[in-house]
Amino acid sequence: MEVLIAQIFNGLSLGSIYVLLVTGFNLLLLVAMIIHFSFPVVVVFSMYVSWAVMTATGMVPLGILAGILSAIAVNVVTAPMFQHIMKKRGSVDINATMVISMGMGMIITDILSHTFNQGFPIAFPDALTGNDKGALISTRLISISRGQVLTLIIGVIFVLFLFWLLYKTRAGRAFRAIAEDPNGAKLVGIPLLKTGLQSYALTGILGGVTAVLMAVLLGSASAGLGDQLGHKVLAVSIIAGLGNLKGGLIIGLLLGVLEAVIQGYLAGSWSNAIAFIIMLIVILAKPKGVFGSSL
């Protein structure tokens, strides 16, 4: 019983990473109609930037700031590229944004794999991860760290906040209007450029915070991390229903627990394959997602 509880906590902690990433992914879908397949790769890039600044200056807060700023920068800088593609919607479909995003992922992963730290994995200082302080709660098998609690709470808060922002406020409606029909939005007087940039910056902030939380939670990162997460994030988003924020929260956590239980009780080397098969079955049974698409 203790093992099961321990594994569920482990799963929730992994799941909270999925939740944060899926939320960022869904947000881009909602406010910009982008299938940003490589969003997790951008997040890992911010982890690297954050690490580089921390190692160079020795100042953790500066590193955190750099991580968040870099995520915003990447998002805002690449925005015109995606918008350019989306302008041609009609002749070009949404797949094109996914292919572009995959291209971005190839570039970032490759740069990370042989520039920072000679391509070796990076490790974050204890001052950030809090590893030296020990666990918050700890029995023989169950161990809950500050980072785990923080990530889960912030994940849930972010989902609720975005839900409120997008569906209950004027600004949110403007974001969604632009994504769905740029010309229509222009007609009703929404400033396209300003609102567009705001929405990209918002996703950037989410990405940056995710990067910092992942650094706290995982303590280290390697170049391939973004790709490993990217496949699952896309799957979670589809299963929950593309763009469905609440669905992403639930499915993200469930996937984390599922993986932890497979690794804990079945053979670990099968965990990815089993997780994907289960997700595949759900996708085949419910092509529009368990909670329905919000697009």
Query: Which residues, numbered 169-228, are part of the site for other proteins (CB under 8 A)?
Result: 217-220, 222-225, 227-228
What's the maximum distance between 2 C-alpha atoms anywhere in the chain?
63
Q: What is the DSSP string of 227-246?
A: HHHHHHHHHHHHHH-TT-HH
Spatial CA neighbour of 38 closest among 86, 116, 110:
110
Applying the rule CB under 8 A, the residues between 3 and 22 that interact with other proteins are 3, 6-7, 9-11, 13-14, 17
| Residue 258 CB, nearest approach to other proteins (Å) | 11
- Measured from the CB of residue 108, what is the shortest distance to other proteins in angstroms? 8
Q: Which is nearer to other proteins, 95 or 183 (CB)?
A: 95
Task: Choose which of 58, 184, 191, 268 interacts with other proteins (CB under 8 A).
Answer: 268
Min dist CB 264 to other proteins, Å, is 5
Least distance in angstroms from the C-beta of 249 to other proteins: 18
DSSP string, 269-287: GGHHHHHHHHHHHHHHH-T
Q: Which of residues 149, 261, 290, 295 is near other proteins by CB under 8 A?
A: 261
Q: Which of 35, 43, 206, 211 binds other proteins (CB under 8 A)?
A: 35
Q: Minimum distance from CB of 141 to other proteins (Å)?
A: 5
Helices (H), 131-270: 146-168, 170-180, 182-187, 192-218, 225-240, 245-265
> Among candidates 53, 107, 52, 50, which has minimal Cα distance to 78?
107
Rounded to 5 degrees, φ, ψ at 110 are -70, -40
Question: What stretch of H or E contains 113?
Answer: helix 95-114
For other proteins, the binding residues in 226-245 under the rule CB under 8 A are 227-229, 231, 234-235, 238, 242
CB of 219 to other proteins, least distance (A): 7
To the nearest whole angstrom, how small is the minimum distance from the Cβ of residue 126 to other proteins? Answer: 9
Give the span between the Cα atoms of 127 and 1, in whole angstroms: 34
Pairwise CA distance, residues 293 & 106, whole Å? 28
Binding-site size for other proteins (CB under 8 A) equals 86
Q: Other C-beta atoms within 10 Å of 139: how many?
A: 11
Q: Does 56 bind other proteins (CB under 8 A)?
A: no
Phi and psi for 139 in degrees, rounded to 5? -115, -160
> In angstroms, what is the minimal distance from the CB of 36 to other proteins?
12
Hey, which residues does 122 pair with through a beta bridge? 221
In contact, 98 and 242? CB cutoff 8 Å: no
Query: CB under 8 A: which stretch of 159-167, 173-181, 196-204, 282-290 binds other proteins?
Result: 282-290
> CA torsion sign, 220 to 222 to 228 to 232?
positive
Site for other proteins in 119-158 (CB under 8 A): 119-123, 131, 134-135, 138, 140-141, 143, 145
Inter-CA distances, 96 with 34, 79, 121, 227, Å: 9, 14, 32, 19
Where does this chain touch other proteins (CB under 8 A) — which range of 67-75, 189-197, 244-252, 260-268? 260-268
Judged by CB under 8 A, which of 65, 161, 272, 295 binds other proteins? 272
Site for other proteins in 80-119 (CB under 8 A): 81, 84-85, 88, 91-96, 98-100, 102-107, 109-111, 113-114, 117-119
